[in-house]
Amino acid sequence: MYGLVNQAVEGLVRRDFGDAAWEQIKADANLDVDVFISNESYDDSLTYKLVASATKVLGVDATTVLTVFGRYWVLTTARESYGELLMATGRSLPDFLHNLPNLHSRVTLLYRRLRPPIFRVEQIGDSKVHVHYQSHRAGLEAFVVGLLEGLGQLFETPCAVRQLGERDEQNPACTFEVTW
């Protein structure tokens, strides 16, 4: 993952739990990096170690960490780093969700080695979609829930997000129902 992701983990922890908590998480993860470079690629295992250490140090489960991080990513990191790109993707929650599959193709212009997830959006009703998510990275479904909830907050559109089933060998995509 790119350093921007790890910078965001650090930013969230420092904001909500303080500098001492971040230092504990780094120590628990045996992290010897002082500063993450946003456009440098880091091994995914580093980010997974940070999340695992955060669960221990903060005393919360991984689902909570990832969900809160997903919201933080949309409302803080993406807004600060990709504000114009976010707004170009859609001016409302429904518009943004329908354009979500195109977002990562634009981001890959900035990060050439990015291996983004694949999103496919299916309209189910006037105020309901299914978001089909596929990634080579395992265990990030709670992060996607947080992202989708964060988009609802970003567009001031209260929404409910529900995961429909799990990914497995037969079904490489996970589906989320988003209702607003």
Q: Residue 129 pairs with which residues in a beta bridge?
A: 123, 178
Select from 84, 127, 80 the least CA-distant residue to 103. Answer: 84
**Per-residue model confidence as pLDDT tens digits over 121-148:** 999 999 999 999 999 999 999 999 999 9
Please identify, in words, the CATH class of the domain defined by 91-179.
alpha beta
| Every domain range in the chain assigned CATH 3.90.1520.10 | 91-179
- What pLDDT digit, counting tens, does each position of 64-113 carry? 999 999 999 999 999 998 888 888 999 999 999 999 988 887 887 777 77
pTM over 0.75: yes
Distance, CA of 58 to CA of 44 (rounded, Å):
21
Full strand arrangement of the beta sheet holding 118-125? 118-125, 128-134, 174-179, 160-164
